[in-house]
Amino acid sequence: MSDFAVLVSGNGSNFQAIAEQTAGKGHNLKCMICDRKDAYAFKRAEKLGIKAYYVTYFRRSREEAEKEIYEILQKENVQLVVLAGFMRLLTPFLVDRYKGRIMNIHPALLPKHPGTHGIPDSFNSKDPELGITIHFVDYGMDTGPIIVQKSFTRTFDESIEEIEAKIHKLEHTYYPPTILSVLDKMDK
Ligand code: GAR
């Protein structure tokens, strides 16, 4: 059994899918950590009964904020860190302390369309295939070893809302089982 934490910045739909689909599967989601006080993810955490921490990045360096995150992760005995819409670039401080044990999801087929606008950038491209990427985190922005990618063929008559819904559906379907398989491997 391994314990993990989810880091989010906003809505938290992936966090909820992860909480619901990993419950009772042999690993513990110890807590959610969020860098935005007003994030809807806090309401989800309350409903789900999952401990939630707010860590501010306001007027402090990323390393300072990450020190606070690291203390929480240590206190909660977390072995795997799961980024789910966490819109901050991690520094070597945290990446080195959790080497190979930080995962991220991105709403595009990396290395295409990294950054915070993965969905509109994908939509506005001429790419015939769109999709999601689940990967381990290194020092870069949405870079690091890819674990899995899932895609669909677009018809070019879909709206951005329809594309967004398809991408989120892929995320909610594939992120939780991928996290579980990484946790299972960590136990061996
Ligand atoms: C998700 O689409 C996730 O892939 C994306 O943020 C969204 C968060 O939604 N992450 C990135 O763009 C990372 N570069 P959620 O808060 O509803 O889970």
66-105 pLDDT, tens digit each: 999 999 999 999 999 999 999 999 999 999 999 999 999 9
User: In this structure, which amino acid lies at residue 109?
Assistant: L
Ligand 1: distance of its center to the CA of 150 in Å? Answer: 15
**Cα separation, 152 vs 163, whole angstroms:** 10
Give pLDDT tens digits for 119-134. 999 999 999 999 999 9
Task: Name the pTM for this structure.
Answer: 0.97
Identify whether the C-beta of residue 146 lies closer than 8 Å to the C-beta of residue 131.
no
Task: Specify the ligand 1 atom closest to the Cα of 40.
Answer: 16
Ligand 1: distance of its center to the CA of 127 in Å? Answer: 20
**Can you read off the two tokens belonging to residue 57?**
């990045």
Q: Count CA atoms within 13 Å of residue 116 on its CB side.
A: 6
Strands 129-136, 146-153: pairing is antiparallel
Region 152-175: mean pLDDT is 98
What are the two backbone dihedrals, phi and then psi, of residue 101, each rounded to the nearest 5 degrees? -125, 25
Position 113 confidence tier, pLDDT thresholds 50, 70, 90: very high
Question: Is the beta carbon of 5 within 6 A of some atom in ligand 1?
Answer: no
Region 45-65: mean pLDDT is 98
